[in-house]
Amino acid sequence: MKTHVLFSSILCMALLLGAGKALALDIPPGGDALGHQLVASQSSVIAQLTSNDGTVMGFTTAVPLTGQVPTQFRLAHDTYTATERLVPGNHYLLFLSMDAAGALQLATSAYSIVAVDLQEAASYRTAIANYQQTWRDPQSFKRVALAQLDASVPYLRYSAMADLAYRGLFTADDGALLARLAASSTASQPEVRKLALGQIGGLRLVAYAEQLGAVLGNAAETTSIRLAALDGLRFMDRTDVIQRQAASVGDSPSPKLKARMLEALEPQPQ
């Protein structure tokens, strides 16, 4: 009990010291995905938000995942978590570390909070266990991450895609898979599609150039998806496919898309 009181006091003191801080972060590519979050954190937990007064968030641990986390704990908001729509009663996956004063904090601010459904806990537990077992062995990790691309949980799908892409683990043998993930007919979230489009280009999978061209030329796609397709085609030097989509790009209201297309058609500076 004394220990609990002391721990709570330390937490409160740290909260007062840290409350309202507004540190803007530069995280590595894919730093919001599961792999980096596990590296950045000392513990992870699915917890229910019990209170949120805009300054401090109160949580009750529902499913401990890694490390040691108290049953109940509080986290100070920073400028960026304060703008998140965090709803008391809902559950969140939290990646936690200790600050210099020994208080719990989010490992990388708002990047370390993921809204979850408690029924997804088993999926998170399995994924985290897989990551912990394989992260240091790229080929073993690739096997579990590829399987995770079909996970039912969007954050786990995104994480698998980001961690595979940013670690450079896709190869030309993954072309069909990447084409499926890049397709608009799939239920993939936009971030997964953009990464897949970029990987197809980065790996120079020219067999899928026309698919990327169709995405670039599809006015129903968002500018960011079309730009990802444009980048993919640029990476594989298929200016002929880009050129064929000029009409539809010209019809876009996005000056950014047009500017990038014109850049792509210009000779590259060396």
Partner 1 sequence: MKAHSSSRPTTRKWAVGLALAAIPLFGFDRGCVTQPQTDILVTSPSVNVQGYIGRYDDNTLEWQENMAGWARMRVNGGAFMAWDQTDANNVWQQSAVPLPLGVNVLDGETWRSTPNGVVSGNIDDFILERKNDLVANGSQPVFLDWSAAGLDAELKAIATGTLNGPLTAAQQNAFVANVKAGVANFFTNAYAGTSVTLASAPGTGVHTVKFIVGDSCSLFGYSPGDYKNTNKTQTSHVLIGTFRCVLVDRLVSTTPAELTDTLAMRVEDVATAIGRTTAHEVGHSLGLTAEGETRLHGCGGSHNCEAYDDANPSDRFDVGHHIMDPGGSSKLYARIGQSNPNTRAKKTPYFERYGKSYLKLIHP
Residue closer to partner 1, measured from CB, 31 or 121:
31
Task: List residues near partner 1 by CB under 8 A.
Answer: 21-33, 36-37, 39-40, 79-80, 83, 107-111, 166-168, 191, 198, 202, 204, 222-224, 231, 234-235, 243, 246-251, 253-256, 258-259, 261-262, 265, 268-270
Determine contact, residues 53/111, Cβ cutoff 8 Å.
Answer: no
Tell me the closest approach of the beta carbon of residue 6 to partner 1, in angstroms. 25
Determine contact, residues 93/46, Cβ cutoff 8 Å.
Answer: yes
Residue closer to partner 1, measured from CB, 72 or 97:
97
Query: Between β-strands 113-116 and 104-106, what pairing exists: parallel, antiparallel or unpaired?
Result: unpaired
Tell me the closest approach of the beta carbon of residue 25 to partner 1, in angstroms. 5
Tell me the closest approach of the beta carbon of residue 4 to partner 1, in angstroms. 28
Rounded to the nearest 5 degrees, what angle is found at the Cα of 158, between the Cα atoms of 168 and 61? 120
Determine contact, residues 14/102, Cβ cutoff 8 Å.
Answer: yes
Residue closer to partner 1, measured from CB, 108 or 148:
108
| Alpha-carbon span 241 to 179, nearest angstrom | 17
Determine contact, residues 77/23, Cβ cutoff 8 Å.
Answer: no
Tell me the closest approach of the beta carbon of residue 194 to partner 1, in angstroms. 8
Tell me the closest approach of the beta carbon of residue 7 to partner 1, in angstroms. 23
Q: How far apart are the first and last CA of the chain?
A: 67
Tell me the closest approach of the beta carbon of residue 266 to partner 1, in angstroms. 9
264: Cβ contacts below 8 Å, ≥ 6 apart: 230, 233, 234, 239, 242
- Per DSSP, the three-state class of 155 is helix
Residue closer to partner 1, measured from CB, 19 or 259:
259
Determine contact, residues 200/184, Cβ cutoff 8 Å.
Answer: no
**Residue 9 burial (CB count, 10 A):** 10
Determine contact, residues 84/110, Cβ cutoff 8 Å.
Answer: yes
Residue closer to partner 1, measured from CB, 69 or 162:
162
Residue closer to partner 1, measured from CB, 5 or 24:
24
Residue closer to partner 1, measured from CB, 150 or 263:
263
Looking at the DSSP bridge assignments, the partners of residue 58 are: 51, 74
Tell me the closest approach of the beta carbon of residue 27 to partner 1, in angstroms. 4
